[in-house]
Structure 1
Amino acid sequence: MHFSKPLTLAALSDLRPTQMAFGAAEVLAKRAEWARLKRRDRAQALAEHWFPAVRGPGEHFYIVDHHHLGAALLQEEVEQVWVMQLADYADLQIDMFWRLMEFQHWAHPYDAEGCRRHYEDMPSRLDDLGDDPYRSLAGLARHAGGFAKDTAPYAEFVWAEFFRRQPGLRKLGALKPGSSIPTAKLKLAMELAHGPDARHLPGWSGKAEAA
């Protein structure tokens, strides 16, 4: 396999996130995938799944993707992973670093309730991310065919916010961190994802209403 940039072996526990929340259900799914792999397959998976990152202040690597995988591997006590450095911003002041990261679509400063927060609130470890159950719902809906995977950064967080604002889903009861996603909520989320109100969202695969 050929890479255009060099890879660095880094301690997984030292990698810093660039988002504040994840979907715990997706982390559990990735842990289940890992558990099914044999030892040799695990080594190959680690060799093939590198983490894109930016070197930031303090010489820390800030990963810009694969947060769910990283959190899952951390819970599985994996110690080292391969990192691909996309840029070197180590000489920037921390505020300017985060401004530039967000400008590059490499940071998502929104908490587990979808509220924008200050960069100072960004967790320093992958196991400090908050659980956004609506991000879990978005991940489950995508895997079930509710919408297509989109290459745009943080696309599923946009879907999470869409679902969070739907009165029909709220009527079925609040989603709580760490809880499983009820079948009724996933079914309704699938219907909403295919509906015309979601037509502007990334990966929408529904049908527009006739004019």
Structure 2
Amino acid sequence: MSTLQQAPIHKLHPTQLTVGMIEVHDKKKHLAALKAAEQLEFMRAHPIPAVLGAGGELYITDHHHLGRAAFEAGVDSGFFEVEADFSHLSGDAFWLAMDNKHWVHPLDENGVRHVYACIPRHLEKLVDDVYRSLAGYVRNAGGYDKTPTAFAEFVWADFFRRNLPLEEVQADFAAAVKAALPLAGSELARGMPGFKSGS
């Protein structure tokens, strides 16, 4: 099942607890610089995968950064690829079905797993994980390959969380990206999704 539909950004429900706000702010800046018609065309060209939940509500399974950025930039609506219809499920049954498909990531900014009820109802409630931003910027810099593996950037975020001190990442993000690049291509990272030897 995959159908494209348009829906208001503010009605989207996340399936994770965190985003990298540095990445969100970059996307927001890009969207805010566009005219309304250009914003709509950009969103149409970048459809967000989603699942139908109880009451026909949309739960997005990827591109949370784009969704949050669009919300903050005042973009009214986006376009969504509906991957599955779980509208007959509610509560934990819905979340268990999502988990079986690897469409939910209830881990916080410290890499700690929480119960499904802790997943926020709205995009503006997602909290910042600076390591998720770091993972995105390292991938963009060629540190590892984009991969269809579910939540691959979060796997990398946890890898960097274990290997780079938080204080250093917060103090100088650009320097942290430079420090993370050789780490991404090292033997420590072998087996990680999208690993590239000697990055």
1:54 aligns with 2:45: no
1:164 aligns with 2:175: no
* Alpha-carbon distance in 2 for matches of 1:39, 1:80: 10
Residues 105 and 153 of structure 1 are in contact (CA less than 8 Å); yes or no, is this contact kept in structure 2?
A: yes
Residues 168 and 176 of structure 2 are in contact (CA less than 8 Å); yes or no, is this contact kept in structure 1?
A: no
1:173 aligns with 2:164: no
Residues 25 and 180 of structure 1 are in contact (CA less than 8 Å); yes or no, is this contact kept in structure 2?
A: no
* Alpha-carbon distance in 2 for matches of 1:134, 1:43: 30
Give the deviation of 1:147 after TM superposition: 1.0
* Alpha-carbon distance in 1 for matches of 2:41, 2:174: 35
TM-score by length of 2: 0.92
Amino acid across the alignment from 2:197: G
* Alpha-carbon distance in 1 for matches of 2:99, 2:172: 30
Which one of the candidate residues 62, 66, 70 is aligned to 1:69?
66
Which residue does the alignment assign to 1:80?
Answer: 77
Give the deviation of 1:153 after TM superposition: 1.3
Which residue does the alignment assign to 1:23?
Answer: 20
Aligned-residue RMSD, C-alpha:
1.9
Q: Give the 3 Å change call, closer, same or farther, for CA 137–99 of structure 1 in structure 2.
A: same
* Alpha-carbon distance in 1 for matches of 2:42, 2:102: 27
Amino acid across the alignment from 2:73: E
Matches within 5 A, 1:44-193: 44-166=41-163, 169-170=164-165, 173=167, 175=169, 181-193=172-184
Unaligned runs of 5+ in 2: none
Secondary structure of the 2:13 match is coil
Secondary structure of the 1:120 match is helix
* Alpha-carbon distance in 1 for matches of 2:103, 2:7: 19
Secondary structure of the 1:52 match is strand
Amino acid across the alignment from 1:51: I
* Alpha-carbon distance in 1 for matches of 2:2, 2:179: 43
Give the deviation of 1:174 after TM superposition: 5.4
Give the deviation of 1:40 after TM superposition: 4.2
Which whole-Å deviations, capped at 9, do the CAs of 1:127-180 have from their partners, x for residues lacking one? 1111001101111111111111111110000000000011xx22x7254xxx57
Which whole-Å deviations, capped at 9, do the CAs of 1:174-201 have from their partners, x for residues lacking one? 54xxx57533322211111111110110
Aligned residue pair count: 199
TM-score by length of 1: 0.87
Which residue does the alignment assign to 2:191?
Answer: 200
Q: Give the greater-gyration-radius structure (CA).
A: 1
Give the deviation of 1:82 after TM superposition: 1.7
Residues 137 and 181 of structure 1 are in contact (CA less than 8 Å); yes or no, is this contact kept in structure 2?
A: no
